[in-house]
Structure 1
Amino acid sequence: MKDLSFIIVNYNTKIITSDCIESINKNKTLANFNYEIIVVDNNSSDSSLEYFQKQNFDNVKLIKNEANKGFGQANNIGAINSDGKYLVLLNSDTIVDQTNFALLINTISKNMSIGVLSAKILNDNDTIQSLGFNFPSLRNDTKLNLLFWNYNFVKKFRYKKYKDRGVFKTDWVSGCFMIMRKSDYQSVNGFDENIFMYAEDVDLCLRLFKNKKYSYIHDHTFIYHLHGKSGDKKNIKLSQLLKRKENYYYVIKKNELFGSSKLFLIKLTYLINSLVVVAGKKFKSKIN
């Protein structure tokens, strides 16, 4: 058995996926770990697999899906084919060469209540992107949608005087970087394959939470998440934003977090948020 299995889902992102792979193999804190890197390709049309084979990366196992299975199912396929005690789920647009994996693995190995462990997620300009999130609720979603709580212009103020806290609990962590025991991942059957993309991380953390396996952050180390590089965020349409949120509502209903009246209000706040975002992008494009 290997110590770690890194799982990366690739879909037409061969260059940034290659950068992610290289950042793993460059990481000095992995020197004492026996690890593998599993790249699950979702039927890319950019000759990704041929490119990876030519690069001849160390420690890499390639898996080709015959169709685009989505993020969650592709990760599940990677997990099934993994041989590590711990799974490290990574977005293709992450860089981890400076991440202290020795610190993270030592932390999770000593605390069986940790279901998922993540780190400080940084933007490429070293500003904080995320430090975990709260489960869906009317109060939390109103703050997110009407106060734009998770937007960069607000986070500049939120995290302006942030001081590291070490290890702390949060409700859920981004699927861009998750470390967990393979046994815990298997105990909840991995990601919900009914979710093609978006909100599968919320759902996974919720199901682990119900098993008394909690999400934690260790902010004494970090990763870079080049947010948006693995997906097109330009010229986003209102219909796209609303459709993207459908899986989030599915997770709320599935886990019976609250009733239909609160869900309606949350949908209303998100509609207002989306209208403002689309209008803002249109205005920005005109003045540019």
Structure 2
Amino acid sequence: MSTTSPDVSIIIVNYKTPQLIIDCLHSVQQHTQGIDFEVIIIDNESGDNSELLVRAAFPEAQFPQIRWFNMGYNAGFGRANNFGMKQAQGRNLLLLNSDTLLVDDLITRCSQLLDRQRDVAAVGAMQINRDGQVHTQLYTRFAQLRRFCYILPERWLNRVFPDNQYADPNEVDWIIGAFLMTRQSTIAQTGNFDERFFMYGEDVELGWRLRRQGRMLVLRDGFFVHLEYGSDASNATRKTTFINRFKTQMQVSNLLWVRKQYGAGAYLVLMIHYYTLVPIVYAWKMTANLRQGKPLLSELTNQRAFAQQVGIFSRFFWATLFNQNLFFKV
């Protein structure tokens, strides 16, 4: 590695995922050519031997680019990345999930794009699985997430919250934080992640501010493998229904994002929507039970789960409404 400042600082947050990081860094090492880079790993108090395993796989004599830092507590995604960005020496910053794998020299391509196209604030790429299939649920528009927050007919929501349209097929509203590259200078103008977010939603909110600095691009012919659920495998097999489809931590963060970006009115409409739905989903199911000759209070698992989630959202109601400086961790 050059003694001068690197072209790219790769920032990876670790929470009990040493083998994923080892696999990720092997792919970085294999595919990244022609640029200098450093790797900054931020550990969210894993309480295991993650650092020893990673350093054993990448001895300093052979791979001196790695710098390891311990947060001392589980700081979540945004705070850990903010700490990593403060340590970064690279001209460009790459936020990279531990559960990702490169399949070509995407890092060099994105870095060179940012160097050439000064009107671009940040760049990402398409997510694929191990088999090379593109992830079908790729959110790149703010309106997509707003529609997801509502439990209402999709056709109506599409009219109320239409997607922004761009002439450039690569241009988007925001970029997922699993692979997001921007400049040090852009972050200096935009500001870091909002540290109230524990996990999820912080990349959407940062994207809103990054868009003020320039275009946001997701390269349709650029790909990286995103395994997902690296440090929370339980989510991979979690069963969902239409009314009970929210990941609780994710939705608490999404509600904070809606409040910050669209205001108190938009947030209140969403919460009133949830409060109104609780008795409706119970009444609907109990009516269906009577019609089918079943006990009135049978098979209410989904309804109870939804009500419990609304109860958790309510724990953060006043803090969200008044935009308080709280750590929104479920």
Q: TM-score range by the shorter chain?
A: 0.7 to 0.9
Supply the distance in 2 between the matched residues of 1:61 and 1:197 (Cα, whole angstroms). Answer: 23
Q: Is the 2:93–2:181 Cα contact (8 Å) retained in structure 1?
A: yes
Provide the residue aligned with 2:260 in structure 1.
254
Supply the distance in 2 between the matched residues of 1:142 and 1:268 (Cα, whole angstroms). Answer: 13
| Cα gap change, 1:138 to 1:179, in 2 (>3 Å) | closer
| Cα gap change, 1:105 to 1:265, in 2 (>3 Å) | farther
Provide the residue aligned with 1:86 in structure 2.
92
TM-score by length of 2: 0.69
The 5 Å alignment of 1:101-120 reads: 101-120=107-126
Supply the distance in 1 between the matched residues of 2:197 and 2:277 (Cα, whole angstroms). Answer: 20
Q: Is the 1:35–1:84 Cα contact (8 Å) retained in structure 2?
A: yes
Supply the distance in 1 between the matched residues of 2:95 and 2:128 (Cα, whole angstroms). Answer: 16
Secondary structure at the residue paired with 2:229? coil
Q: Is the 2:197–2:253 Cα contact (8 Å) retained in structure 1?
A: yes
Percent identity of the aligned residues? 25
| Cα gap change, 1:239 to 1:76, in 2 (>3 Å) | same
For structure 2, the 5+ residue unaligned runs are 155-166, 282-300, 307-330
Secondary structure at the residue paired with 1:245? helix
2:81 to 55, 75, 83: 75
Provide the residue aligned with 1:38 in structure 2.
40
What is the deviation of 1:175? 0.7
Supply the distance in 2 between the matched residues of 1:14 and 1:219 (Cα, whole angstroms). Answer: 30
| Residue 229 (structure 1) aligned with residue 230 (structure 2) | yes
TM-score by length of 1: 0.78
Provide the residue aligned with 2:18 in structure 1.
14
What is the deviation of 1:214? 2.9
**Which protein shows a greater Rg?**
2
Provide the residue aligned with 2:192 in structure 1.
190
Provide the residue aligned with 1:205 in structure 2.
207
The CA deviation string for residues 163-195 of structure 1, in whole angstroms up to 9 with x for no partner, is xx9862111111111010111122222111110
What is the deviation of 1:139? 6.7
| Cα gap change, 1:139 to 1:266, in 2 (>3 Å) | farther
Query: Which amino acid counterpart does residue 263 of structure 1 have in structure 2?
Result: L
Query: Which amino acid counterpart does residue 72 of structure 1 have in structure 2?
Result: G
Provide the residue aligned with 1:134 in structure 2.
141
Q: Is the 1:132–1:217 Cα contact (8 Å) retained in structure 2?
A: no
The 5 Å alignment of 1:121-200 reads: 121-129=127-135, 131-136=138-143, 140-141=147-148, 168-200=170-202
Supply the distance in 1 between the matched residues of 2:277 and 2:101 (Cα, whole angstroms). Answer: 31
| Cα gap change, 1:142 to 1:75, in 2 (>3 Å) | closer
Supply the distance in 1 between the matched residues of 2:215 and 2:210 (Cα, whole angstroms). Answer: 7
Provide the residue aligned with 2:291 in structure 1.
none
Query: Whose strand proportion is higher, 1 or 2?
Result: 1
What is the deviation of 1:220? 1.7
Query: Which amino acid counterpart does residue 119 of structure 1 have in structure 2?
Result: A
The CA deviation string for residues 65-96 of structure 1, in whole angstroms up to 9 with x for no partner, is 21111111111111111110101111100001
Secondary structure at the residue paired with 1:80? helix
Q: Which structure would you say has the larger RCO, counting Cα contacts within 8 Å and 6 or more residues apart?
A: 1
Q: Is the 1:73–1:193 Cα contact (8 Å) retained in structure 2?
A: yes
Q: Is the 1:172–1:215 Cα contact (8 Å) retained in structure 2?
A: yes
Secondary structure at the residue paired with 1:9? strand
Supply the distance in 2 between the matched residues of 1:251 and 1:43 (Cα, whole angstroms). Answer: 26
Q: CA RMSD in A?
A: 3.2
Provide the residue aligned with 1:157 in structure 2.
none
